[in-house]
Protein backbone atom coordinates (compact mmCIF):
# COMPACT_ATOMS: atom_id res chain seq x y z
CA UNK A 1 0.00 0.00 0.00
CA UNK A 2 1.21 3.51 -0.80
CA UNK A 3 0.17 6.95 0.34
CA UNK A 4 -1.92 7.23 -2.82
CA UNK A 5 -4.08 4.32 -1.59
CA UNK A 6 -5.15 6.10 1.61
CA UNK A 7 -8.53 7.72 1.96
CA UNK A 8 -8.45 11.23 3.44
CA UNK A 9 -8.10 12.81 5.87
CA UNK A 10 -5.37 10.52 7.22
CA UNK A 11 -2.52 11.07 9.67
CA UNK A 12 0.77 9.94 8.15
CA UNK A 13 4.22 9.72 9.74
CA UNK A 14 7.57 9.86 7.98
CA UNK A 15 9.30 7.00 9.82
CA UNK A 16 12.83 7.97 8.77
CA UNK A 17 12.38 11.46 10.19
CA UNK A 18 10.62 10.29 13.37
CA UNK A 19 13.41 7.81 14.06
CA UNK A 20 15.99 10.55 13.48
CA UNK A 21 14.22 12.79 16.02
CA UNK A 22 14.26 9.93 18.56
CA UNK A 23 17.96 9.26 17.98
CA UNK A 24 18.87 12.94 18.08
CA UNK A 25 17.19 13.56 21.45
CA UNK A 26 18.72 10.43 22.96
CA UNK A 27 22.17 11.51 21.79
CA UNK A 28 21.54 15.08 22.97
CA UNK A 29 20.68 13.96 26.52
CA UNK A 30 23.52 11.45 26.60
CA UNK A 31 25.98 14.18 25.63
CA UNK A 32 24.57 16.45 28.33
CA UNK A 33 24.69 13.64 30.88
CA UNK A 34 21.02 13.96 31.86
CA UNK A 35 18.71 10.90 31.87
CA UNK A 36 15.72 11.24 29.52
CA UNK A 37 12.18 10.27 30.51
CA UNK A 38 9.90 10.44 27.48
CA UNK A 39 6.42 11.92 27.69
CA UNK A 40 3.95 9.71 25.84
CA UNK A 41 1.15 12.29 25.66
CA UNK A 42 2.75 13.52 22.43
CA UNK A 43 1.94 10.29 20.59
CA UNK A 44 -0.04 7.88 22.88
CA UNK A 45 1.36 4.93 20.91
CA UNK A 46 3.16 2.15 22.85
CA UNK A 47 5.25 1.08 19.86
CA UNK A 48 6.79 4.56 19.64
CA UNK A 49 7.46 4.54 23.40
CA UNK A 50 9.31 1.23 23.03
CA UNK A 51 11.46 2.77 20.30
CA UNK A 52 12.28 5.70 22.57
CA UNK A 53 13.29 3.38 25.41
CA UNK A 54 15.37 1.25 23.05
CA UNK A 55 17.19 4.46 22.06
CA UNK A 56 18.11 5.14 25.69
CA UNK A 57 15.18 6.64 27.60
CA UNK A 58 14.97 5.50 31.25
CA UNK A 59 11.17 5.24 31.22
CA UNK A 60 8.02 7.12 30.29
CA UNK A 61 5.83 9.85 31.71
CA UNK A 62 2.06 9.58 31.24
CA UNK A 63 -0.13 12.54 32.10
CA UNK A 64 -3.20 10.48 32.95
CA UNK A 65 -3.78 7.00 34.40
CA UNK A 66 -5.52 5.91 31.19
CA UNK A 67 -2.29 6.53 29.28
CA UNK A 68 -0.30 4.67 31.95
CA UNK A 69 -2.63 1.66 31.72
CA UNK A 70 -2.06 1.51 27.97
CA UNK A 71 1.72 1.67 28.37
CA UNK A 72 1.94 -0.89 31.18
CA UNK A 73 -0.30 -3.28 29.23
CA UNK A 74 2.20 -2.96 26.37
CA UNK A 75 5.09 -4.04 28.59
CA UNK A 76 6.58 -0.74 29.73
CA UNK A 77 7.78 -1.09 33.32
CA UNK A 78 8.88 2.35 34.55
CA UNK A 79 6.11 4.95 34.49
CA UNK A 80 5.83 8.41 36.04
CA UNK A 81 2.40 10.03 36.27
CA UNK A 82 3.22 13.69 37.03
CA UNK A 83 -0.34 14.38 38.09
CA UNK A 84 -2.39 14.41 41.30
CA UNK A 85 -4.30 11.11 41.48
CA UNK A 86 -7.50 11.87 43.41
CA UNK A 87 -10.49 9.68 44.27
CA UNK A 88 -10.93 6.04 45.22
CA UNK A 89 -11.58 4.79 41.69
CA UNK A 90 -8.32 6.30 40.46
CA UNK A 91 -6.20 5.27 43.45
CA UNK A 92 -7.38 1.68 43.06
CA UNK A 93 -6.39 1.75 39.38
CA UNK A 94 -3.01 3.21 40.34
CA UNK A 95 -2.27 0.53 42.91
CA UNK A 96 -3.25 -2.22 40.47
CA UNK A 97 -0.66 -0.80 38.08
CA UNK A 98 1.90 -0.63 40.90
CA UNK A 99 1.71 -4.42 41.19
CA UNK A 100 2.79 -4.75 37.55
CA UNK A 101 5.26 -1.90 37.02
CA UNK A 102 7.36 0.67 38.84
CA UNK A 103 4.85 3.47 39.31
CA UNK A 104 5.73 6.99 40.45
CA UNK A 105 3.21 9.78 40.92
CA UNK A 106 3.30 13.46 41.82
CA UNK A 107 1.38 14.94 44.74
CA UNK A 108 1.12 18.41 46.20
CA UNK A 109 -1.12 17.81 49.22
CA UNK A 110 -1.45 15.50 52.19
CA UNK A 111 -4.99 14.64 51.08
CA UNK A 112 -3.75 13.29 47.75
CA UNK A 113 -0.90 11.33 49.36
CA UNK A 114 -3.15 9.88 52.05
CA UNK A 115 -5.71 8.74 49.46
CA UNK A 116 -3.04 6.80 47.57
CA UNK A 117 -1.70 5.33 50.80
CA UNK A 118 -5.14 4.11 51.83
CA UNK A 119 -5.57 2.30 48.52
CA UNK A 120 -2.13 0.67 48.58
CA UNK A 121 -2.54 -3.06 49.19
CA UNK A 122 0.53 -5.26 49.01
CA UNK A 123 2.22 -2.78 46.70
CA UNK A 124 4.37 0.32 46.88
CA UNK A 125 3.83 3.60 45.06
CA UNK A 126 6.73 5.99 44.60
CA UNK A 127 5.91 9.63 45.25
CA UNK A 128 7.38 12.95 44.10
CA UNK A 129 6.29 16.28 45.50
CA UNK A 130 5.42 18.73 42.75
CA UNK A 131 6.82 22.22 43.28
CA UNK A 132 5.26 25.38 41.88
CA UNK A 133 8.40 27.12 40.67
CA UNK A 134 6.56 29.62 38.49
CA UNK A 135 4.21 27.53 36.35
CA UNK A 136 1.27 28.58 38.56
CA UNK A 137 -0.49 25.29 38.04
CA UNK A 138 -0.12 22.63 40.76
CA UNK A 139 2.62 22.34 43.33
CA UNK A 140 3.87 23.15 46.83
CA UNK A 141 4.18 26.90 47.18
CA UNK A 142 7.38 27.05 49.24
CA UNK A 143 10.34 24.86 50.28
CA UNK A 144 8.97 24.83 53.82
CA UNK A 145 5.59 23.54 52.61
CA UNK A 146 7.37 20.84 50.60
CA UNK A 147 9.36 19.78 53.66
CA UNK A 148 6.22 19.50 55.75
CA UNK A 149 4.56 17.36 53.07
CA UNK A 150 7.66 15.18 52.66
CA UNK A 151 7.61 14.34 56.37
CA UNK A 152 3.96 13.29 56.14
CA UNK A 153 4.54 11.19 53.01
CA UNK A 154 7.52 9.42 54.59
CA UNK A 155 5.28 8.33 57.48
CA UNK A 156 2.44 6.95 55.32
CA UNK A 157 2.24 3.19 54.62
CA UNK A 158 2.42 1.99 51.04
CA UNK A 159 4.30 5.08 49.86
CA UNK A 160 7.98 5.56 49.10
CA UNK A 161 9.08 9.20 49.08
CA UNK A 162 11.42 9.60 46.11
CA UNK A 163 11.96 13.32 45.65
CA UNK A 164 10.55 16.35 43.88
CA UNK A 165 9.53 17.47 40.41
CA UNK A 166 8.80 20.71 38.60
CA UNK A 167 7.65 22.01 35.23
CA UNK A 168 9.03 23.64 33.25
CA UNK A 169 12.75 23.51 33.96
CA UNK A 170 13.85 27.14 34.39
CA UNK A 171 16.79 28.87 36.03
CA UNK A 172 14.40 30.95 38.16
CA UNK A 173 13.65 27.70 39.98
CA UNK A 174 17.25 27.09 41.05
CA UNK A 175 17.04 28.57 44.54
CA UNK A 176 13.60 27.06 45.19
CA UNK A 177 14.83 23.59 44.16
CA UNK A 178 18.11 23.81 46.05
CA UNK A 179 16.48 25.00 49.26
CA UNK A 180 13.73 22.36 49.05
CA UNK A 181 16.16 19.50 48.50
CA UNK A 182 18.42 20.82 51.24
CA UNK A 183 15.60 21.06 53.76
CA UNK A 184 14.28 17.57 53.03
CA UNK A 185 17.70 15.94 53.16
CA UNK A 186 18.47 17.92 56.29
CA UNK A 187 15.47 16.28 57.90
CA UNK A 188 17.00 12.87 57.20
CA UNK A 189 14.73 12.03 54.25
CA UNK A 190 16.56 10.83 51.11
CA UNK A 191 15.90 12.67 47.84
CA UNK A 192 16.63 10.25 45.02
CA UNK A 193 14.89 12.05 42.17
CA UNK A 194 14.70 15.69 41.09
CA UNK A 195 12.67 15.66 37.89
CA UNK A 196 12.23 18.54 35.46
CA UNK A 197 10.52 18.84 32.14
CA UNK A 198 9.93 20.52 28.83
CA UNK A 199 11.19 19.77 25.33
CA UNK A 200 14.00 22.22 24.65
CA UNK A 201 14.79 22.55 28.38
CA UNK A 202 17.30 19.70 28.55
CA UNK A 203 20.31 22.04 28.93
CA UNK A 204 18.47 23.83 31.71
CA UNK A 205 17.70 20.55 33.46
CA UNK A 206 21.38 19.68 33.45
CA UNK A 207 22.40 23.14 34.68
CA UNK A 208 19.87 22.88 37.52
CA UNK A 209 21.38 19.58 38.63
CA UNK A 210 18.23 17.56 37.97
CA UNK A 211 18.36 13.78 37.90
CA UNK A 212 16.10 13.46 34.84
CA UNK A 213 14.40 15.55 32.18
CA UNK A 214 10.94 14.88 30.78
CA UNK A 215 10.56 15.60 27.06
CA UNK A 216 7.93 14.51 24.58
CA UNK A 217 7.04 16.80 21.69
CA UNK A 218 10.51 16.41 20.14
CA UNK A 219 9.17 13.26 18.43
CA UNK A 220 7.12 15.50 16.14
CA UNK A 221 9.11 18.74 16.27
CA UNK A 222 12.75 17.74 16.39
CA UNK A 223 15.11 19.17 19.00
CA UNK A 224 13.83 22.76 19.07
CA UNK A 225 10.30 23.82 19.90
CA UNK A 226 8.10 25.56 17.36
CA UNK A 227 7.25 29.20 17.90
CA UNK A 228 4.85 29.58 14.97
CA UNK A 229 3.89 27.87 11.73
CA UNK A 230 6.99 29.19 9.93
CA UNK A 231 8.92 26.52 11.85
CA UNK A 232 6.68 23.66 10.73
CA UNK A 233 9.18 22.35 8.24
CA UNK A 234 9.19 18.96 6.59
CA UNK A 235 12.87 18.53 7.48
CA UNK A 236 12.02 18.20 11.18
CA UNK A 237 8.28 17.47 11.54
CA UNK A 238 7.40 13.88 10.58
CA UNK A 239 3.66 14.02 11.34
CA UNK A 240 1.42 15.26 8.54
CA UNK A 241 -2.24 15.05 7.59
CA UNK A 242 -3.08 13.90 4.10
CA UNK A 243 -6.11 15.83 2.83
CA UNK A 244 -8.11 16.37 -0.35
CA UNK A 245 -9.29 19.64 -1.92
CA UNK A 246 -13.08 19.30 -2.05
CA UNK A 247 -13.96 22.76 -3.36
CA UNK A 248 -12.37 25.73 -5.12
CA UNK A 249 -15.21 28.27 -4.84
CA UNK A 250 -13.02 31.23 -5.93
CA UNK A 251 -9.54 31.64 -7.43
CA UNK A 252 -8.35 32.90 -4.01
CA UNK A 253 -9.81 30.12 -1.85
CA UNK A 254 -9.67 26.34 -1.57
CA UNK A 255 -11.50 24.09 0.87
CA UNK A 256 -9.98 20.94 2.39
CA UNK A 257 -11.76 17.85 3.73
CA UNK A 258 -10.27 18.36 7.19
CA UNK A 259 -11.32 20.93 9.77
CA UNK A 260 -11.34 21.25 13.56
CA UNK A 261 -12.21 17.57 14.04
CA UNK A 262 -9.20 16.62 11.93
CA UNK A 263 -6.56 19.15 12.97
CA UNK A 264 -7.77 20.86 16.18
CA UNK A 265 -8.17 24.61 15.76
CA UNK A 266 -5.12 25.58 17.76
CA UNK A 267 -3.93 29.21 17.50
CA UNK A 268 -2.05 31.08 16.15
CA UNK A 269 -2.95 31.17 12.48
CA UNK A 270 -2.19 29.77 9.96
CA UNK A 271 -3.24 26.38 11.33
CA UNK A 272 -0.54 24.41 9.59
CA UNK A 273 1.95 24.28 6.73
CA UNK A 274 0.93 22.88 3.35
CA UNK A 275 4.13 21.14 2.31
CA UNK A 276 3.54 21.21 -1.43
CA UNK A 277 2.51 24.89 -1.49
CA UNK A 278 3.70 26.72 1.66
CA UNK A 279 2.55 30.09 0.31
CA UNK A 280 -1.05 28.90 0.63
CA UNK A 281 -2.28 29.59 4.17
CA UNK A 282 -4.90 27.73 6.21
CA UNK A 283 -6.55 30.82 7.64
CA UNK A 284 -9.68 29.27 9.15
CA UNK A 285 -11.44 26.06 10.09
CA UNK A 286 -15.01 25.00 10.55
CA UNK A 287 -15.89 21.64 12.04
CA UNK A 288 -15.16 19.58 8.92
CA UNK A 289 -13.65 22.11 6.49
CA UNK A 290 -10.22 23.66 6.21
CA UNK A 291 -10.25 27.15 4.65
CA UNK A 292 -7.18 27.97 2.57
CA UNK A 293 -6.16 31.41 1.29
CA UNK A 294 -4.48 30.72 -2.05
CA UNK A 295 -4.09 34.36 -3.14
CA UNK A 296 -0.36 34.40 -2.43
CA UNK A 297 0.30 31.17 -4.28
CA UNK A 298 1.02 30.84 -8.00
CA UNK A 299 -0.35 27.30 -8.05
CA UNK A 300 -3.97 26.90 -9.12
CA UNK A 301 -5.73 24.35 -6.98
CA UNK A 302 -8.24 21.87 -8.35
CA UNK A 303 -10.96 19.67 -6.85
CA UNK A 304 -9.59 16.22 -6.01
CA UNK A 305 -6.02 17.42 -5.50
CA UNK A 306 -4.28 15.82 -2.51
CA UNK A 307 -2.10 17.78 -0.12
CA UNK A 308 -0.03 17.02 2.98
CA UNK A 309 -0.24 19.42 5.90
CA UNK A 310 1.94 19.69 9.03
CA UNK A 311 -0.51 20.62 11.82
CA UNK A 312 0.35 23.50 14.11
CA UNK A 313 -0.07 21.24 17.17
CA UNK A 314 0.76 17.69 16.20
CA UNK A 315 -0.10 15.92 19.45
CA UNK A 316 -3.56 17.49 19.67
CA UNK A 317 -4.17 16.52 16.06
CA UNK A 318 -3.08 12.90 16.58
CA UNK A 319 -5.34 12.58 19.62
CA UNK A 320 -8.34 13.06 17.31
CA UNK A 321 -7.55 9.99 15.21
CA UNK A 322 -7.94 6.25 15.79
CA UNK A 323 -4.96 5.28 13.69
CA UNK A 324 -1.98 6.63 11.79
CA UNK A 325 0.17 5.35 8.96
CA UNK A 326 3.96 5.10 9.07
CA UNK A 327 5.65 5.30 5.69
CA UNK A 328 9.03 5.33 3.97
CA UNK A 329 9.55 6.60 0.46
CA UNK A 330 5.82 6.80 -0.12
CA UNK A 331 5.12 3.19 0.91
CA UNK A 332 3.04 2.34 4.00
CA UNK A 333 5.19 0.26 6.35
CA UNK A 334 3.04 0.12 9.48
CA UNK A 335 -0.41 1.07 10.77
CA UNK A 336 -0.49 2.13 14.42
CA UNK A 337 -3.56 2.37 16.60
CA UNK A 338 -3.45 5.53 18.71
CA UNK A 339 -4.05 3.37 21.77
CA UNK A 340 -4.05 6.19 24.34
CA UNK A 341 -6.37 8.59 22.55
CA UNK A 342 -9.26 9.77 24.69
CA UNK A 343 -7.67 8.34 27.85
CA UNK A 344 -8.36 11.43 29.95
CA UNK A 345 -9.43 9.64 33.15
Kindly tell me if the per-residue pLDDT of 266 is higher than 90.
no
Q: What percent of the chain has pLDDT over 90?
A: 90
Domains and CATH numbers, the chain: 3-11+227-337 (2.40.37.20), 15-221 (3.20.20.10)
Backbone angles phi, psi at 143, to 5 degrees: -60, -35
Going by C-alpha positions, the residue among 287, 224, 231 that lies closest to residue 260 is 287
Name the average pLDDT for the chain: 95
pLDDT tens readout for residues 286-338: 999 999 999 999 999 999 999 999 999 999 999 999 999 999 999 999 999 99
Whether the CA torsion 168, 39, 34, 218 is positive or negative: it is negative
pLDDT band at 227 (very low <50, low <70, confident <90, very high): very low
Burial (CB < 10 A; 0-12, 13-18, 19+), residue 300, is: exposed
Task: Please report the DSSP string for 248-280 in residue order.
Answer: EEETTEEEES--HHHH--PSSSS-EEESS-TTS
- What is the rounded CA–CA span in Å between residue 61 and residue 78? 9
Angle ∠(69,163,199) on CA atoms, nearest 5: 65
Q: Nearest-5° angle of CA 198, CA 327, CA 78?
A: 40
**CA distances for 338 relative to 15, 87, 329, 332, 341, angstroms:** 16, 27, 22, 16, 6
Residues 6+ apart with CB under 8 A from 286: 259, 260
pLDDT digits (tens, 9 = 90+) for 270-287: 899 999 999 999 999 999
Q: Lowest mean pLDDT: which of 15-24, 92-101, 111-120, 215-224?
A: 215-224
320 backbone φψ class: left, alpha, beta (φ>0; ψ -120 to 50): alpha
Amino acid sequence: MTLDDLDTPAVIIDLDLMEKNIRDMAAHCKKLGIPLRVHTKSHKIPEIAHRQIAAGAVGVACQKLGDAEVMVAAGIHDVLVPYNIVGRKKTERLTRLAKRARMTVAVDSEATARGISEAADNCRVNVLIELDTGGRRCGAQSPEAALDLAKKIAALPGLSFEGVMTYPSRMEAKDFLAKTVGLIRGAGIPVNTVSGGGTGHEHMAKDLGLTETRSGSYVWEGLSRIGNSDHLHESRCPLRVLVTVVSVPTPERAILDGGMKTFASYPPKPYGRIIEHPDAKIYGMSVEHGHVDTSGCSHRFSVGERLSVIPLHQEMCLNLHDECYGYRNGKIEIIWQVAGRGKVK
